[in-house]
Amino acid sequence: MAEKLRVGIVGASGYGGVQLVRLLLDHPRVEIAYLGANQNAGVPFGELYPQLAHRIDRVCEAVELDRIVEACSVVFLATPNGIAYTLAPGLLAGGLRVFDLSADYRFVNLETYQSWYGGDRHDAAVAREAVYGLPELYRERIRTARLVGCPGCYPTASLLAAAPLLKQGLIDPRSLIIDAKSGVSGAGRTLKTGSLFAEADSSVAAYSVARHRHIPEIEQICSDLAGMRVQVQFTPHLIPMARGMLVTLYAQLRDPGLVSEDMLTIYEAFYRQASAVRVLGSGIYPQTKWASGTNTCFIGLEVDQRTERVIVLSALDNLVKGQSGQAIQAMNLTQGWEEMLGLPAVGFYP
């Protein structure tokens, strides 16, 4: 039997970390060799998450580069923004493959990162090596990458909805409007007033209007796809549910003669080799419940011939395809394995 790949998780105690643990425990080709969590160093992981105690008996460890390099071949950095860029250079120098779930290595231009996220960056050479980890768009680059900057949840849902339109030149890029809604887990496990039950329950609210930090990430990839500078109007909303994300995209068609059936044919062809994307049939629109717990993004669309606009809807689990599952999908590519190996494609219903 082939030796299993030894993987580590830094930031194992957060929502992203526990999703990685849950998914990797069911992956047939890997072994969890290290769990890093400074605030919980010395605490058995099963005490933090008792529901997993029967599956994993590892203790959380302090984050020490030498220990990670000794224990692992691959490491996932499920840390807050601003931490990965202090760790990745040393991990790469130690011969590890690194998958960063934060925003630290998503940007081609570090000045863009610093203007939106702050921080004092001195790792430009390392950042230039990073590959944006959206498999449906950059599959071949990911296969040979040593450092993968895994996309955010909003960018994943938005870009999968927009990519065929921009790549095929079907819309006026200046008309792109993205309305996005996320479950509360997207805010992470740390205490925030807006995430409290009494604040979020029975209420829907927009936040970070015109200034959300995922805007430059979405615009960077949209510009790459369109071959020109693209700016988007992006508005996120918090929905009173634990997990799930729904994006509704609007754009002006260049060819007003296109109908919904034409557009569906284009999307089906574009995602023909994408095992994590499901393009729905005519008149079927995605629901967040369908994607819950899975690494699948569901896409539906409609052409409004009256307004000459296309409306594209995408739904995914913000913690799986929008975060940890997608990172594992990228890892699978770097190992030459089937892209969805170990990843759930069907959720619980109802």
Using one digit for the tens of pLDDT, what is the confidence trace for 249-275? 999 999 999 999 999 999 999 999 999
For residue 289, count CB atoms less than 10 angstroms from its CB and return exposed for 0-12, middle for 13-18, buried for 19 or more: middle
Is residue 263 within 8 A of residue 256, CB to CB? The reply is no
Helical H runs in 26-152?
Answer: 45-48, 65-71, 84-93, 110-117, 124-129, 135-143
Catalytic residue numbers read 153
Q: Is residue 2's pLDDT more than 90?
A: no
Average pLDDT of 216-244? 97
Average pLDDT score over the chain: 96
Lowest mean pLDDT among 92-96, 117-121, 134-138, 177-181: 117-121
Band (52; pLDDT cuts 50, 70, 90): very high
- Return the structure tokens found at 100: 């960063």
Cα(299)–Cα(155) distance, integer angstroms: 14
The pLDDT assigned to 48 comes to 96
Give the pLDDT of residue 70. Answer: 98
- Residue-level pLDDT at 16: 95
Instruction: Assess whether pLDDT exceeds 90 at residue 185.
Output: no
| Domains (range + CATH), the chain | 5-150+321-334 (3.40.50.720), 153-317 (3.30.360.10)
Say if residue 156's pLDDT is above 90: yes
Kindly state the average pLDDT of the residues 93-99: 98
Averaged pLDDT for residues 54-79: 98
Give mean pLDDT, residues 215-219: 98
| Average pLDDT over every residue of 319-323 | 98
